[in-house]
Chain A
Amino acid sequence: MNAQRIAALDERAEALRLKRGMGIADARAMHPTIDIVEADPEADRRLLEGLADWCDRYTPLVAIDGADGLFLDVTGCTHLFGGERAMQDEILSRFLEQGFDVRAGLASTPGAAWAAAHFHGDRIVAGGEEETLLAPLPLSALRIEPETRASLESVGLRTAGAVMTAPRAPLARRFGAGLLLRLDQALGRLDEAVSPRLPVAPLSVERHLAEPVVLTDDIERLVSRLATALKGDLERRGEGARALALLLFRVDGAVSRIAVGTSRPLREPSLIRRLFHERLAALEQDIDAGYGFDLVRLSVLSAAAFDMQQADLTGEANDDDADIALFADRVRARLGEAAVLRPVAVESHLPERAVAIVPFSEAPQRRAPLKRPERAVPPVTIYPPERPIRLFRSPEPIEVPATEMPEGPPMNFRWRRALYRVARAEGPERIAAEWWRRLPGEEEAPTRDYFRIEDSDGRRYWLYRQGLYGASDMPPRWFMHGVFA
């Protein structure tokens, strides 16, 4: 079991009559000069995904098949490349130019196309010819399990044609429904869906370039042109883009995919260009233009209803929220999702839980601008407890040598190695842990007694003591949690 075996061969090795599955030791014994490279399925997978990305230029519906195959659903795409024959020729020749040995088959059903690719190499099966294609082929052309195939062969059914002519009911009974399913799918009696690896963009525009572009400025100019083309489509649908992707197909097959998100639906080409400007600036090192990009595609990944804004008489729609959303989008495009944050009040009395800091895009949209409460209306009855203006991410432990009373505020404390003398103190405000959030079996968190402290220089702090004196053997610990104005 531990023997090293041949997983794949190149042409010259095949000419030496080496076979897959042969032991390395045997192969070396036959041909001592052969080169052996360790198999790397991970790298193979990455390569296949890269090729799938590249095949995006032909159709948005690309699926990966096993370890070495790709399904391209070219329904409705062939006329763009001059027909089925021309399209298959182009795909084959471009792969060949990149140094890949590729076999292709084109048929009305995925099963027939698979069989044509695996057993013919370069064949186009017209609609209705699936049966004549499959009939002479061995059973493996039907994409069935090896065990099923072995048992079919043991009863003398060696070709797909033999299975097709055999009565169906005994076949289903003896070999399971999988065999007939595969057969029906290959012959087009049942639909088989190819599940694409990427969600299909509802809208996309692309531009094939005779002369590949290299410069970022040129790419941005193209983005703005594509966005202008996209604007009409979005207007017809009454929508704006919420997520956009820019696909750059490099001449040698590498594909860069650059996505930006927007906080509110967008369709203005200049704004889309600015978003991609920031994104491209942030990715400058990561995008290698190499010999240039020969196909640029801008897709709308998701769209949402676009509310028209009425401009005022000066011709400018004055919408502050839109400005802020756009600003946030640009910062996010450049510095990542967490670069713009917004606090959201949470129903909790634990100070660190009461305000959640969420990325801008996830925060609920702002309501109408707040009106300043009228002076005449008295403020809401109770005063909220005083809260600090800055809170430490995690409370910092402080050393408290003595308190005047066991449950009282400290007289002095040491925080970050500096000694502070307490001049005045207010408190305690007791905040207990939220028992309803405690998981079963978890220990109850000790209560906290918060004190507002003013030190001898007039700085105001928020300290708390965790736990009570005498509640356990360990003395309670003190923490610095926040700073007041």
Chain B
Amino acid sequence: MAMTAVARETVFALRRQIAKIEGTLPERLAAPAGASPDDRDIADVTVVRRGLAVAAPDAFLRTGIEPLDDALGGGLPKAALSEIHGVETRDAGAVAGFALSLAGLILTRQPGLPVLWVGTSEIFREAGFPYAGGLRSLFGIAPEQLLFSETPRLLDALWIAEEAARMTALAAVILEIRGSPRPLDLTATRRLHARAQDAGRPVLLLRQAGEAEPTAAPVRLIVSAAPSASRATIAGPLAGSIGRPAFTVNIGKSRTALPGQFTLEWNPDEHVFEERRTQEERATNPVAVVSASRRRPHPAPASGAVLAFPAVAAPASGDQPPRHERPAHRRPRRAG
């Protein structure tokens, strides 16, 4: 089944052409083996690793986490609808926090632009109304930069989000809904996506307790809270304290990435994400500074168990999400 090198190169070039015309996320393309050496140099840097050959350099919002950006093919698409899912409503804090971190990242490039948060009354009642008092120090979003929109009906919320997605005067539009309502179908998300593409601004669709459904969003991330690290002090981590916000991010859907899992920590001082390496932390502090309380469970459970999987072990297995979080089409299919 040998394909000639020339034919493969043609396919490669055509795909790149298609991606350029569509202006969509370029697929993760394998460089042709028999490509000419000079062509290969470019391909190595731009196509194979990031898939950025056809996209403008600022088409992606880089999270700053190398493996996550690589897995997403360069970062989160900036001019697109992106879905951020929470498995349960109680994850609303983490999901909102992650979305706001992304907004914070955008605002480091375009300071001063407002962020619009559209939600239904239901989700604001169930998960709490965004609290401007906590956002400035954490994400650098001042109260003057925030706009909220609350509607009892989902259709009205969709209309507002659609109108807002056309505007270039907003840094980001966050649309938050609960569950998997019928009006938010493929057509509705495609409209949102198209508006976001035209305006070049991201629309973040937060779905609390939603099922993974077919939508037009090129990327779906499943976010849940991760236990935070302890606060860092001069004398080392402060045992029992609650440090920076941490998120567990699973790639639920992406045209370029395999499913993967990442633990991110938001640095509110620098406004950047940092990847958490639990092993490293344990390595520097193998023992808690203060011994664990006798009657209370230790905050970092079963530190001994981690040693069975040293960092040198195959990293891919550690990055794989649990079985139930994998997208349906990657699950093994039962025949017959």
Write the residues of chain A forming the contact surface with B, with a CB cutoff of 8 angstroms: 320-321, 323-324, 327-328, 330-331, 334-335, 338-345, 351, 354-355, 357, 360, 366-367, 369-372, 383-384, 386-393, 404, 411, 418, 421, 423-426, 452, 454, 456-461, 482-485
- Interchain CB contact under 8 A, B133 and A320: no
Instruction: Indicate with 1 or 0, residue by residue over B58-96, a CB within 8 angstroms of chain A CB atoms.
Output: 000000000000000000000000000000001111101
Chain A residues, Cβ within 8 Å of B113: 320, 369
Chain B 239-256 against A: per-residue CB contact (8 Å), 1 yes, 0 no? 011100111100000000
B144 engages A370 (CB within 8 Å): yes
The docked-state distance in angstroms from the alpha carbon of A251 to that of B151 is 36
Q: Let me know if B106 is at the binding interface, CB within 8 A.
A: no
Q: How many A-B residue pairs have CB under 8 A?
A: 184
Q: Which residues of A contact B137 (CB under 8 A)?
A: 383-384, 386-387
Per the bound structure, the CA–CA distance linking A113 and B143 in Å amounts to 59
Q: Which residues of A contact B94 (CB under 8 A)?
A: 459, 485
Enumerate 17 A-B pairs (CB-CB under 8 Å) in ascending A order. Answer: A323-B167, A324-B170, A343-B146, A351-B133, A355-B132, A355-B143, A366-B144, A370-B112, A370-B145, A389-B130, A393-B124, A458-B228, A459-B94, A482-B131, A483-B96, A483-B128, A485-B266
Contact pick for B147, options A335, A340, A421, CB 8 Å: A340
How near does chain A come to B34, taking the closest CB pair, in angstroms? Answer: 48
Residues of chain A with a CB closer than 8 A to B242's CB: 424-426, 452, 454, 460
Q: Among the interface residues A386, A387, A424, which one has the most CB atoms of the partner chain B within 10 A? A: A424
B297 to chain A: which residues have CB within 8 Å? 421, 423, 456
The docked-state distance in angstroms from the alpha carbon of A458 to that of B226 is 5
Report Cα–Cα, A427/B212, bound state, in Å: 38
Q: A459-B91, A460-B93 are in contact. Are A357 and B148 (CB under 8 A)?
A: yes
Neighbour of B164 across the interface among A327, A369, A371, A387, CB < 8 A: A327
Centre residue among B94, B241, B266 by max chain A CB count within 10 A: B94
Report A-chain residues with C-beta under 8 Å of the C-beta of B322: none
**Assuming A323-B167, A370-B144, A457-B225, is B100 touching A389 (CB within 8 A)?**
yes
A370 and B142 contacting across the interface, CB-CB below 8 Å: yes
> What CA separation (Å) do A388 and B130 show in the bound complex?
9
Chain B residues closer than 8 Å to A418, beta-carbon distance: 90
Residue ID in chain A nearest B231 by CB atoms: A426
Closest B residue to A388 by CB, please name it.
B134
Bound Cα distance from A323 to B247, whole angstroms: 34
Interface pair A387/B92, CB less than 8 Å apart: no
B202 at the interface (CB under 8 A from A): no
Chain B's closest residue to A352 (CB) is B131
Q: Could you tell me if A343 and B164 are in contact, using CB atoms closer than 8 angstroms?
A: no
Residue of chain B at shortest CB distance from A420: B90
Shortest distance between the CB of B307 and any CB in chain A (Å): 21
Tell whether, in the assembled complex, residue A458 and residue B133 are in contact, meaning their CB atoms are under 8 Å apart.
no
Is B108 an interface residue, CB under 8 A from the partner? yes
Min CB gap A393→B, angstroms? 6
B240 contact from A328, A354, A424, Cβ within 8 A: A424
Q: Mark B182-223, 1 if CB is under 8 A from A, else 0.
A: 000000000000000000000000000000000000000000
Q: Identify the 4 closest CB pairs spanning chains A and B, nearest first.
A: A485-B97, A369-B112, A483-B93, A390-B128
Residues in B with CB closer than 8 Å to A341 are 147-150
Residue of B with least CB distance to A345:
B143
Q: Which residues of A contact B100 (CB under 8 A)?
A: 389, 485
Q: Are B164 and A390 in contact (CB under 8 A)?
A: no
What are the residues of chain B within 8 A of A457 when measuring CB–CB? 224-225, 227
Cα A271 to Cα B227 with chains together (Å):
50
A484 adjacent to B132 (CB under 8 Å): no
| Cα distance A485–B133 in the bound complex, in angstroms | 13
- How close is A352's CB to chain B, nearest CB, in angstroms? 9
Our pick among B144, B150, B245 for the contact of A339 (Cβ within 8 Å) is: B150
Q: Closest B-chain residue to A369, C-beta based? A: B112
Asked if B299 CB lies within 8 Å of chain A CBs, one says yes
What's the nearest-Cβ distance from chain B to residue A443, in Å? Answer: 27
Q: Which of A327, A343, A457 has the most CB of B within 10 A?
A: A343
The residue of chain B having its C-beta at the shortest distance from the C-beta of A371 within the complex is B111
Minimal beta-carbon separation of B262 from chain A (angstroms): 14
Assess the A324–B131 pair: CB atoms within 8 A.
no
Known: A457-B225, A485-B138. A369 touches B111 (CB 8 A): yes
Residues of B within 8 A of A421 (CB): 297
Q: Could you tell me if B228 and A460 are in contact, using CB atoms closer than 8 angstroms?
A: yes
Q: How far is the CA of A458 from the CA of B297 in the complex (A)?
A: 14
B156 within 8 Å of A (CB atoms): yes
Task: Assess the B131–A372 pair: CB atoms within 8 A.
Answer: no
Q: Which residue of A lies closest to B297 (CB)?
A: A423
Would B131 and A460 count as touching, CB distance under 8 A?
Answer: no
Given the interface pairs A391-B129, A392-B128, A426-B242, the reply to whether A360 lies near B147 with Cβ below 8 Å is yes
- B111 x A370 contact (CB < 8 A): yes
Q: Are A391 and B241 in contact (CB under 8 A)?
A: no
**Nearest A residue (CB) for B160:** A331
CB of B125 within 8 Å of the partner chain: yes
